[in-house]
Amino acid sequence: AQRVTQPEKLLSVFKGAPVELKCNYSYSGSPELFWYVQYSRQRLQLLLRHISRESIKGFTADLNKGETSFHLKKPFAQEEDSAMYYCALRYSSASKIIFGSGTRLSIRP
Amino acid sequence: DTGVSQDPRHKITKRGQNVTFRCDPISEHNRLYWYRQTLGQGPEFLTYFQNEAQLEKSRLLSDRFSAERPKGSFSTLEIQRTEQGDSAMYLCASSSESLTDTQYFGPGTRLTVL
């Protein structure tokens, strides 16, 4: 069955430190991978997707098919990065998204 | 039209009562999804519409749950004979038939069953 695993419930780092939020998935095909973010009192929104291969708000994520991972990284954390982050996959467009359980990122000043 | 809207934002009900939630997607989005999110978990898929056709339902959607999208615009999700285990955030998302098919989420309806 398709599954997304985020091993860390909470990640706390100091401002300016590097950030890496881990994500592993299980799926036999070639899924599309996403990172969604939810800031305090805001709705869930797309942060980035692997097919775009772009950097959003300084975040990047590389799909590693060998390790079935899609870790989210940022070299220098900022206080405004504090939020809930969800890794997710879907196996085709017009299909459901399968979410991980989320990692709360807390940036300390 | 500033995004997906959901109504009500909060609903408190007693066990055994029926509740209905509404979702208004972004205009011109022909795809609509319902998800449920419980504390400490990510959203879980419930059902999906393309226009007015309900194309997929999760096994999470018991017989007490029904969703409709009669005119291919807004959608309703009804829960009959609510149980305490139904307490959750119910999220709606919409997308358009495009290359990216990005799903845009609403603010959610928080249901509390006493």
**What's the residue count for chain A?**
109
Q: What is the pLDDT of residues A29-46, one digit of tens each?
A: 788 999 999 999 999 999
Candidates A45, A46, A97, A104: best to mutate against B (most CBs of B within 10 A) is: A97
pLDDT tens, residue by residue, B41-92:
999 999 999 999 999 999 888 899 999 999 889 999 999 999 999 999 999 9
| Element containing residue A45 per DSSP (H, E) | strand A45-49
| Percent above pLDDT 90 for chain B | 86
- Minimum Cα–Cα distance from B103: chain A residue: A46
pLDDT score of B71: 87
Share of chain B above pLDDT 70, in %: 98
Which tokens belong to B80?
Answer: 């009959």
The pLDDT of residue B100 is 78
- Report angle CA B24, B105, A45 to the nearest 5 degrees: 150
Q: Count the residues in chain B.
A: 114
What is the rounded distance in angstroms from the CA atom of residue B25 to the CA atom of residue B94? 6
Cβ B45–A98 below 8 Å, yes or no? Answer: yes
Contact A96 B48 (CB under 8 A): yes
pLDDT grade for A93, boundaries at 50, 70 and 90: low
User: Which of A45, A96, A99 shows the shortest C-beta gap to B56?
Assistant: A96
